[in-house]
């Protein structure tokens, strides 16, 4: 069992952690025609926007209740109301995601009451969904904020499915896929394709693959142009199973179980041969389980995935030389840390240091004796002598000081292109990771080999 160290320093140096509101906004951005609304002073929104714009290189819709000194003293009720009305008028979203910040949480704004008053005052907006989530900056990290937003999204009541929807009988089985914060738009896309390949229709919550993948639209939009649609959210009750990708999605899955009786499976990671194998096996069982038990059918895994599996095995063979015995230091959010650390370990590398941002039960099961909830200063101390550093773009200068190469993961990454489409899950994503990192390690080895000296 991994020991979790939580030094709780007075001084955080070179923070690894980003705030809950930022994470919540990210999750909300995976809904279609959405406008995330920060209840706080305008700076929080501006910073979050800059981070997301730099990371994805996309325009990002975000808005603020713009609390001032006066409204902070008097209460933010009017600001929330005015903000919602303005957004509705100016941007015509189909859904608003309302999240709190450090300021309004410290003030103690009672969001339930504020929203209730708003509802009472505006019966004409009765059916307009406002998903509210509490995300104080002084607790948790980006992952926590993201997770809290997903929980609010699946817990909200979106009203009934329109009557003219076709009946589901005889249609493809539907599953709900809860996508945690460690999945990029490219990861979500891959997941969706894989699941569809089995003849299953997935509802991704949230679906960043249609909102932050980077694509051109014909017109200009001020809200998200893709993502989980309102209709899909209304139909969550039709899913036969919830697939929770990432340990942090467990609670959201239980919420769906409580609401609709949907069973769930948690997949803490989707990279690495075993992890992907068991995921595909589960998918194959969804169709199989619908058949007569007396006449079992062969689990039908699509041919291209079977082929990818053989490719991955070959890639593992080809790349393992460079991973064997290498010391790797990681500073990532819990879900991403878990996935990456185990994959590296399975390749023969050793995890020399692990730093993370926030508590999670999954931290107890890492391939290393202890993990530190800390910052990049901690990483710099722990990573001395590592062969590879894996963290976000802020790690550039520390990697230089430690004379180790850096592989960028997490948020924010502002000095690299193509993150929206980068896929590191599934057989395909695992191969991509092994090639990416393998090449870095190979290059390092070549640099230090005696031949290079001549």
Partner 1 sequence: MKLTKSKINDLLTQPGCEHNHNKEGQGKNKSCTQTANPGSAQGGCAFDGASIALVPITDAAHLVHGPIGCSGNSWNSRGSLSSGPMTYKMGFTTDLSENDIIFGGEKKLYKAIAQLIKKYNPAAVFVYSTCVTALIGDDLDAVCKAATNKYETPIIPVHSPGFVGSKNLGNRLGGEALLDHVVGTKEPEYTTAYDINLIGEYNVAGEMWGVLPLFKKAGIRVLAKITGDARYEEVCSAHRAKLNVMICSKALINMASAMKERYNIPYIEESFYGVQDMNRCLRNIAQFFGDQVLIERVEEIIEEETAKLDIALAPYRERLKGKRMVLYTGGVKSWSIVSAAQDLGMEVVATSTKKSTEEDKGRIKKLLGKDGIMLEKGSPEELLRVVQKTKADLLVAGGRNQYTALKAKIPFLDINQERHHPYAGYIGLVEMARELSEAVYSPIWTQVRKPSPWEIWQQEHESLLNLEAEGE
The single residue among 5, 47, 301, 368 that binds ligand SF4, judged by CB under 6 A, is 47
Verify binding: residue 18, ligand SF4, rule CB under 6 A. Answer: no
Q: Contact 249/176 with Cβ under 8 angstroms?
A: no
| Closer to ligand SF4 by Cβ: residue 21 or 429 | 21
Of partner 1, ligand SF4, none, which one sits near residue 106, judging by CB under 5 to 8 A according to partner kind? partner 1
The interface with partner 1 within residues 120-159 (CB under 8 A) comprises 136-139, 141
- Sheet with 34-39: strands ordered across: 63-64, 34-39, 95-100, 130-133
The single residue among 26, 29, 48, 205 that binds partner 1, judged by CB under 8 A, is 48
Q: Kindly write out the interface string for residues 69-108 of this chain, putting x where it contacts partner 1 by CB under 8 A and - elsewhere.
A: x--x-----xxx-xxxxxx--x----------xxx--xx-
SS3 7: coil
| Closer to partner 1 by Cβ: residue 78 or 443 | 78
Of ligand SF4, partner 1, none, which one sits near residue 94, judging by CB under 5 to 8 A according to partner kind? none
The single residue among 24, 34, 44, 328 that binds ligand SF4, judged by CB under 6 A, is 44
Give the chain's length: 454
State the chain's maximal CA–CA distance in angstroms: 79
Taking residue 449's Cβ as centre, other Cβ atoms within 10 Å add up to: 9
Indicate the residue whose CB is closest to ligand SF4.
43
Verify binding: residue 62, ligand SF4, rule CB under 6 A. Answer: no
Task: Name the residue with tokens 């979790």.
Answer: 4
Of partner 1, ligand SF4, none, which one sits near residue 55, judging by CB under 5 to 8 A according to partner kind? none
Q: Residue 237: which of 171, 179, 158 has the closest Cα?
A: 158
192 vs 177: CA distance, rounded Å:
9
Verify binding: residue 102, ligand SF4, rule CB under 6 A. Answer: yes
| Closer to ligand SF4 by Cβ: residue 133 or 205 | 133
For the bound state, the minimum distance from the C-beta of residue 447 to partner 1, rounded and expressed in Å, comes to 25
**How does 54-84 read in b/e, with b if 16+ C-beta sit within 10 Å?**
ebbebebbbbbbbbeeebbeebbbebbbebb
SS3 392: coil
Q: Contact 322/299 with Cβ under 8 angstroms?
A: no
The single residue among 4, 57, 155, 302 that binds partner 1, judged by CB under 8 A, is 57
SS3 108: coil
Verify binding: residue 12, ligand SF4, rule CB under 6 A. Answer: no
Q: CA dist 421 to 8, 62, 209, 432, Å? A: 36, 22, 8, 12
DSSP 216: -
* Size of interface with partner 1, in residues (CB under 8 A): 66
For the bound state, the minimum distance from the C-beta of residue 412 to partner 1, rounded and expressed in Å, comes to 8
Verify binding: residue 232, partner 1, rule CB under 8 A. Answer: no
- Sheet with 201-205: strands ordered across: 201-205, 174-179, 241-245, 264-267
| Closer to ligand SF4 by Cβ: residue 44 or 154 | 44
The single residue among 7, 43, 159, 324 that binds ligand SF4, judged by CB under 6 A, is 43
For the bound state, the minimum distance from the C-beta of residue 39 to ligand SF4, rounded and expressed in Å, comes to 11
| Closer to ligand SF4 by Cβ: residue 70 or 298 | 70
**How does 419-445 read in b/e, with b if 16+ C-beta sit within 10 Å?**
bbbbbbbbbbbbbbbbeebbebbeebe
Q: Which stretch binds partner 1 (CB under 8 A): 215-223, 247-255, 280-288, 346-354?
A: 215-223
Task: Name the residue with tokens 């990818």.
Answer: 308
Q: Which stretch binds partner 1 (CB under 8 A): 63-71, 173-181, 182-190, 441-449?
A: 63-71
Q: What are phi and psi of 54, to 5 degrees?
A: -65, -35
Verify binding: residue 128, ligand SF4, rule CB under 6 A. Answer: no
DSSP 167: P
**How does 350-374 read in b/e, with b if 16+ C-beta sit within 10 Å?**
bbbbbbbbbebebbeebbbeebbbb
Of ligand SF4, partner 1, none, which one sits near residue 48, judging by CB under 5 to 8 A according to partner kind? partner 1
Q: Residue 324: which of 447, 441, 444 has the closest Cα?
A: 441
Verify binding: residue 142, ligand SF4, rule CB under 6 A. Answer: no
The tokens of 169 are what?
């009988």
The tokens of 451 are what?
């031949």
Q: Contact 375/14 with Cβ under 8 angstroms?
A: yes
For the bound state, the minimum distance from the C-beta of residue 51 to partner 1, rounded and expressed in Å, comes to 6
Q: Which stretch binds ligand SF4 (CB under 6 A): 37-45, 184-192, 278-286, 443-451?
A: 37-45
The single residue among 2, 47, 115, 155 that binds partner 1, judged by CB under 8 A, is 47
| Closer to partner 1 by Cβ: residue 137 or 151 | 137
242 vs 250: CA distance, rounded Å:
10
The residue ranges that bind partner 1 (CB under 8 A) are 8-15, 17-22, 37, 40-48, 50-51, 53-54, 57-59, 63-69, 72, 78-80, 82-87, 90, 101-103, 106-107, 136-139, 141, 216-217, 220, 222, 394, 397, 414
The residue ranges that bind ligand SF4 (CB under 6 A) are 40-41, 43-44, 47, 102-103
């Amino acid at each position: 069992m991994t020991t979790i160290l939580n030094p709780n320093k007075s001084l955080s140096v070179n923070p690894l952690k980003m705030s809950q509101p930022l994470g919540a906004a990210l999750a909300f951005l995976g809904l279609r025609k959405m406008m995330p609304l920060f209840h706080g002073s305008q700076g929080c929104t501006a910073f979050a926007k800059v981070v997301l714009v730099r990371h994805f290189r996309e325009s990002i819709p975000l808005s603020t209740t713009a609390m001032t000194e006066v409204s902070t003293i008097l209460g933010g009720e009017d600001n929330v109301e005015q903000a919602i009305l303005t957004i509705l008028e100016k941007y015509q979203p189909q859904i608003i995601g309302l999240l709190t910040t450090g300021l309004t949480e410290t003030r103690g704004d009672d969001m339930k009451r504020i929203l209730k008053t708003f509802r009472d005052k505006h019966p004409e907006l009765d059916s307009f969904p406002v998903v509210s989530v509490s995300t104080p900056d002084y607790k948790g990290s980006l992952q926590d904020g993201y997770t809290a937003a997903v929980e609010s999204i699946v817990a909200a009541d979106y009203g009934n499915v329109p009557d003219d929807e076709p009946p589901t009988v005889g249609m493809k089985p539907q599953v709900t896929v809860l996508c945690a914060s460690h999945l990029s738009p490219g990861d979500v896309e891959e997941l969706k394709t894989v699941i569809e390949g089995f003849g299953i229709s997935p509802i991704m919550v949230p679906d960043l693959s249609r909102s932050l993948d980077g694509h051109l639209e014909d017109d200009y939009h001020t809200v998200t142009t893709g993502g989980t649609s309102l209709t899909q959210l209304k139909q969550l009750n039709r899913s036969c199973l919830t697939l929770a990708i990432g340990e942090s999605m467990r609670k959201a899955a239980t919420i769906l179980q409580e609401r609709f009786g949907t069973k769930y499976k948690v997949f803490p990671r989707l990279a690495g041969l075993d992890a992907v194998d068991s995921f595909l096996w589960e998918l194959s069982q969804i169709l199989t389980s619908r058949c007569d038990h007396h006449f079992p059918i062969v689990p039908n895994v699509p041919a291209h995935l079977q082929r990818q599996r053989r490719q991955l095995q070959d890639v593992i063979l080809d790349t393992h030389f460079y991973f064997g015995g290498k010391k790797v230091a990681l500073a990532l959010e819990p879900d991403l840390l878990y996935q990456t650390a185990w994959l590296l370990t399975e390749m023969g590398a050793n995890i020399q240091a692990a730093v993370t941002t926030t508590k999670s039960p999954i931290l107890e099961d890492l391939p290393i004796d202890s993990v530190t909830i800390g910052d990049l200063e901690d990483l710099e101390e722990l990573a001395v002598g590592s062969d590879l550093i894996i963290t976000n773009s802020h790690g550039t200068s520390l990697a230089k000081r430690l004379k180790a190469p850096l592989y960028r993961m997490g948020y924010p990454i502002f000095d690299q292109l193509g993150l929206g489409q980068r896929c590191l899950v599934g057989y395909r994503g695992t191969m991509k990771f092994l090639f990416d990192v393998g090449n870095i390690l190979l290059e390092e080895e070549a640099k230090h080999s005696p031949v290079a000296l001549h």
